[in-house]
Chains A and B, each alone.
Chain A
Amino acid sequence: MDISNYLYLSAILFTIGAVGVVLRRNAIVVFMCVELMLNAANLAFVTFSRVNGDLVGQVASFFTMVVAACEVVVGLAIIVTMYRSRRSASIDDASLLKR
C-alpha cells in the first residue's frame, strides 16, 4: 500500500480537527478536535518513522501522547470549572479578555 495514503489521512484528520476548533462553540467538542489534530500529527510522525526506517518518529509520537494526556487533565479541569461558574460550556461566552 502506498505510504502517502497515511499522510493524506493525517492531513485530512488535521484539517477536520482545525476546522472543528475554528467552527464549533462547545468547549468539549473543540477539545476533542484539538486531540484529533494531535493524533493526526502522531500519524504523520509514525509514517515518517516508517519511511526513514528508524524509531525517532515513534518516540516523538509517545511524547505527543504524554503531552496530550497532560493537556486533557488541565483542559478538562478548565472546562469543568468554566461550566460550574457560568452554566455553559460555550467558548464564545468566555470572552472576558476582550478589553
Chain B
Amino acid sequence: MTTSSNLVYLIALPLVSSAILLLLGRIADKWGHLLATLVSASTFVIAAIEFFAMRQRTGDARAVTQDLFTWISVGSFNVHASLLLDQLSICFVLLISGVGTLIHIYSIAYMSHDHDRRRFFAYLNLFVAAMLLLVLGDSYLNLYVGWEGVGLASYLLIGFWNQKPAYAVAAKKAFVANRVGDIGLSLAIMIAFAQFGTVSFTGVAAGVPHASTAALTGLGAMLLLAAAGKSAQFPLQSWLGDAMAGPTPVSALIHAATMVTAGVYLITRSHFVFDASPTAQTMVLIVGGVTLLFGALVGTAKDDIKKALAASTMSQIGYMILATGLGPVGYAFAIMHLLTHGFFKAGMFLGAGSVMHGMNDEVNMRRYGAIGKVMPITAVTFGLGYLAIIGVPPFAGFYSKDKIIETAFNAGGTKGILVGGAALLGAAITAFYMTRVIVLTFTGTKRWDDEAHPHESPSLMWIPMVILAIGSVASGFLFNSGRALVNWLAPVVNAAGVHSEKEFLPATTISLMALGVVAVGVAIAITKYRTVPVEAPAGNILTKIVRRDLLQDDFNDRVLVRPGQALTRFFVGMDNSFIDGIVRGVGGVIALTSTNLRRIQNGYVRSYALIMVVGVLALLTTIWMVTL
C-alpha cells in the first residue's frame, strides 16, 4: 500500500466548483461552464498522473490510500473517511473524469441556449464529485455517501427541465426506484457490521471465510438489490427509460457511461462475498441474464431514439452483471465491457443529442431518415459506436462482449448453455435494434418536417464525439492485447488463481456463432425497415406489449403503486378518524368541562366568599375526620 495526498483533490475540486456555481448564482453565469469544464479536466489530469504513477509501481504497492479523518468512532467501531485508489478504481476514475470532461465540453455547446446552463454545470460537477467518491471510498459507508450523492445528482439532472410536469415525474420515479436499491445497500452495510464488526472492504473480505452461508447469501442479495436499483436491472429497471427526460449529455454521462455502472462496480468490489456464496452468484446471473434480454426486447420497439439507447444501456449492463455473476473469470470482462460501453454508448448518446440539436429536439426516429447526408460527422461517429456495440471485429464491443459470451458458455453444464444462450440471443437482438436505430435515423428517405433544418453541430459538440468514437474503435483491442486489463485487475479480483475450466466450445467457434447471429439480426432489421411509415403501425399484441416496456409500468402500477396508495389512503383515514378523533375528543372534553366550570365564576363577591367558607369548612371537616 502506498499513501498519497492527491486523491482528495479528485473529489474536492468538483465539489467546491459545484458549490461556487450554486452559491454565486447569476454572477457566475458568464464563466460557470468554463470553470466546471476546467475542474473536470483537472480531475482527469490528476487521474492520469495517478495512473502513470501506479504503472511505475509493482505488486501490492500499486494501490494508493489516503486517510482523511476519523468519521465515526464508537467503542470498537471505527470508520475512517479514507480513499482507496487501486487497479479497479483507477479504471473508473479515468472513465468518469475522461468521459465526464468530454461531456462537459459537449454541454457547453449543447446547453448554450439554456439560461440555466450554470446550474446544469454545477449539477454535473456535483455528480462527478459524488461518483468519484463512490469509486474511491475504501469502505461500504464511504461508498454509500457517494452512492446517495450520485442518486441526488441524477435526480436533479433528470428533472433539470422540471417546468414540464412529466419530466419532474420522471425524476421522482428514478429517485424512488433508486431508493429501493439504496435500502438494499444500507441493509448490506448493517449485515456487514453485524457479522464482521467493520464495514471496510478489507475488513469484510477478511471476515468472509468465517461467516455463515446464510449471512453471506443475505449480504450478497442485498448488494445485488442495491446494484439492481442503481444499474436499472430487473426488477428495478423501470426508471431508466423515463430518465431520458434529462438533457442528452446527462443521459450520456450518468445514464449510460458512469452512474448506472455503479452496480457493476459494487458487485466487482464485493467479489469476495459473491465468490463465497454460490446462491448469491446465481442470483446475479439470473438478474443479469433476464435484464439483458429484457432491455434488448424493449429496445426493438422504441421509436424515441433516446429510449432505444436507454433500453440498450439496460441490456448492456445486463451483460456486465451477467459477467460478474460468472465468478472470478468474469469480473475483468465485466469491467472491460463497462469501459468499452462507456465509450461507445456515451458517443452514441452524444450523437443522438447532436441529431436532436439539429432537429428542434425531435426524438421520434420515424421523423428522421437520411440524416447521414446532412450530418456526416455525427453519422460516422454514431456508426462507429454502432459497429462497436453490435460486436463487429475489430471494434471495442467485439472484444468485450465476445469474451462475456465465451465465459458464459464455459461456465459449464446446463448453466453454461442457458447463460451463454441468453447472451448469444441478446447479441442478435442488439444487432437488430441498433441496426434499426441506424436505418431509421441516418439512412433511407427524408421524413422530417419542412420546418426542421438539420445541420452539423458545432465543433465543441463533434470533437467529444470523435474522441469517443476513437475510443469505441480502439479501446477493446487495447484492453485485450496481451490480456492487459485482465492482468491489470487480477490482484483486485483474485483472478490469478483461476484455472480455466474445460472449454465448452473453442473460442473461435463461439466468436463465429456470435458474428453469425449478429449478421442475422442486422439482415432482419435492414429488410424490415426498407420502408418506414411516419406513423407507427398498430402492430400485433406482442408489439404492443413490447412498446409498453413489457408491461413493467403496468405491473408496478397494479402490484405496488395502487395497493400502496390504497394503504396510504387507509392510514390517512385512520389518522383523520381515529388519531385525530382522540385528540379532538380530549380537547372537546376539556372545553365542555371549562364551559361548565365557568358558571361558578359569576362575578359576585358574596358567592366567592361563600365558596371560600364552604371550602374551609370542608377542609376542616376532612382534617377532623382524618384525625378522629
Chain A residues with a Cβ under 8 A of chain B: 18, 21-25, 30, 91-92, 94-99
Contacts and interface: CB of A to CB of B under 8 A. Distances in A.
A55 B52 CA distance: 107
Given A22-B613, A91-B606, 12 more contacts: A18-B609, A21-B609, A25-B606, A30-B605, A91-B605, A94-B605, A95-B602, A95-B603, A95-B605, A97-B603, A98-B601, A98-B602
Nearest to A23: B606
B24 interface: no
A22 B602 CA distance: 14
Nearest to A24: B606
A22 B606 contact: yes
Contact of B609 (A22, A25, A95): A22
Interface in B574-628: 601-606, 609-610, 613
Nearest to B598: A99
A88 to B, nearest CB: 14
Nearest to A27: B605
Interface residues on B, range: under 10
A94 B610 CA distance: 17
Given A18-B613, A22-B610, A22-B613, A98 B603 contact: yes
B532 to A, nearest CB: 85
A37 B603 CA distance: 23
A25 B609 CA distance: 12
A54 B581 CA distance: 65
Contacts, number: 30
A24 B605 CA distance: 11
Contacts of A97: 601, 603
A95 B604 contact: yes
B606 A92 contact: yes
Contacts of B603: 95-99
20 contacts: A21-B609, A22-B606, A22-B609, A22-B613, A24-B606, A30-B605, A30-B606, A91-B604, A91-B606, A92-B604, A94-B605, A95-B602, A95-B603, A95-B604, A95-B605, A96-B603, A97-B601, A97-B603, A98-B602, A99-B603
A10 to B, nearest CB: 15
Nearest to B610: A22
Contacts of A22: 606, 609-610, 613
B308 to A, nearest CB: 77
A99 B601 CA distance: 8
Contacts of B605: 30, 91, 94-95
A45 B252 CA distance: 100
B379 to A, nearest CB: 88
A91 B603 CA distance: 10
Query: Lowest 9 CB-CB distances: which A-B pairs, in order?
Result: A98-B603, A95-B603, A22-B610, A91-B605, A21-B609, A97-B603, A95-B604, A22-B606, A22-B609
A21 B616 CA distance: 15
A96 B601 CA distance: 11
A76 to B, nearest CB: 16
A23 B606 CA distance: 7
